[in-house]
């Protein structure tokens, strides 16, 4: 996959693509339906498949003081797109120029003139342009005006959940959405989040030096800051970790929170203890997938009490991960 961060020097062989367009935070099953349709149309036409997305997330530009809310950082999102088999990714820098552009100008000047797209695919709720004035209908009309095509994809539904709820369930309640993922994570239900995402929710980040207290009580941890990720429910999780050992995923147990037993932290962090692993992880980038919520974070009376609880948590995590292997 080729990655472009601006629209200035798009080569001729990257033009004529059919692109899915959206923020795609989390790349959940609804997003996957939009991207999959763009790939299908591109194959049928014999042209490149592409994604047009925005970094940073526009919500961060318009409301910089919002609490962290991301479900996937830029690195993870681009990696997932690469794995999906997309040919081109236009990760456009979102700032004042794009924020101030009308919907009509965005289609004419960016999608058609600069990127040279042959067509676009968007979700049913896609809005764009200054003041969020552009709707899916606007996108279809403006692309048609330029002699290009646009397709709008209907909401993707969690049919299994809707079936369990019965015929009287509200269909909107079963739409795969980023809001649904966030609600599940805040409720301490990573399995529900994984059902919407199509994979476990994961946090990627570089291992930073901590106070090494875990090593002194027999449970060394890799410390990762959340760096813009939505903080899931504070507590202990069974996890799987990629990036620690070449070619394999390592099981572990993690605490996500503010560490009240040792004085607390101003910002939440993820502390991961890897099972059956001995190596230096400082500076390495890990991807930590949350598999199961084991218990809420709480304060212990002593480090000995904390150590005993971690041993219990580790056993519970091993058993959980063995069952879900």
What's the distance, CA 320 to chain centroid? 24
Q: Is the dihedral of CA 94, 99, 103, 104 positive or negative?
A: negative
What is the number of H-type helices and E-type strands within the chain?
Answer: 11, 12
Q: How far apart are CA 196 and CA 192, in angstroms?
A: 7
Per DSSP, the three-state class of 53 is strand
Angle at 124 between CA 122 and CA 127, to 5 degrees: 70
Check residue 131 and give left, alpha or beta (phi > 0: left; psi -120 to 50: alpha): left
Q: Partners of 55 in the beta sheet?
A: 93
Q: How many other CB atoms are there within 10 angstroms of residue 282's CB atom?
A: 11
Contacts of 283 (CB under 8 A, 6+ apart): 206, 207
The secondary structure of the chain in percent helix, strand, coil, rounded to multiples of 5, reads 35, 25, 35
List b or e across 288-318, with b for residues whose CB sees 16 or more CB atoms inside 10 angstroms. Answer: bbbbbbbeebeeeeeeeebeeebeebbebbb
Q: How far, CA to CA in Å, does 28 sit from each of 24, 77, 254? A: 8, 11, 24
The set of catalytic residues is 271
The tokens describing 143, both together, are 């692309």
Q: Partners of 43 in the beta sheet?
A: none
């Amino acid at each position: 996959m080729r990655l472009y961060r601006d629209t200035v020097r798009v080569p001729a062989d990257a033009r004529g693509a059919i692109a899915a367009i959206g923020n795609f935070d989390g790349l959940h099953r609804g997003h996957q339906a939009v991207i999959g349709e763009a790939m299908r149309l591109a194959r049928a036409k014999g042209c490149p498949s592409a994604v047009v997305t925005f970094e940073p997330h526009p919500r961060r530009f318009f409301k910089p003081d919002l609490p962290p809310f991301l479900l996937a950082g830029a690195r993870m999102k681009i990696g997932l797109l690469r794995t999906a088999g997309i040919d081109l990714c236009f990760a456009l820098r979102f700032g004042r120029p794009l924020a101030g552009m009308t919907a009509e100008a965005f289609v004419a000047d960016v999608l058609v003139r600069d990127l040279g797209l042959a067509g676009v695919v968007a979700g049913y709720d896609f809005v764009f342009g200054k003041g969020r004035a552009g709707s899916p209908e606007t996108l279809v009309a403006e692309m048609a005006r330029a002699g290009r095509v646009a397709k709008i994809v209907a909401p993707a539904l969690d049919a299994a959940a809707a079936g369990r709820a019965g015929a009287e369930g509200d269909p909107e309640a079963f739409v795969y959405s980023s809001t649904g993922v966030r609600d599940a994570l805040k409720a301490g239900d990573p399995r529900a989040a994984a059902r919407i995402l199509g994979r476990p929710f994961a946090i990627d980040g570089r291992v930073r030096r901590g106070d090494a207290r875990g090593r002194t009580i027999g449970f060394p941890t890799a410390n990762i800051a959340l760096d813009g990720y939505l903080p899931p429910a504070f507590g202990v999780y069974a996890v799987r970790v990629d990036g620690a050992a070449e070619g394999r995923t390592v099981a572990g147990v993690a605490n996500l929170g503010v560490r009240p037993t040792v004085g607390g932290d101003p910002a939440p962090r993820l502390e991961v203890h890897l099972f059956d692993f001995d190596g230096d992880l400082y500076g390495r980038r890990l991807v930590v997938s949350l598999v199961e919520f084991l218990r809420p974070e709480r304060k212990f009376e002593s480090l000995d009490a904390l150590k005993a609880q971690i041993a219990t948590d580790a056993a519970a995590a091993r058993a959980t991960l063995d069952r879900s292997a």
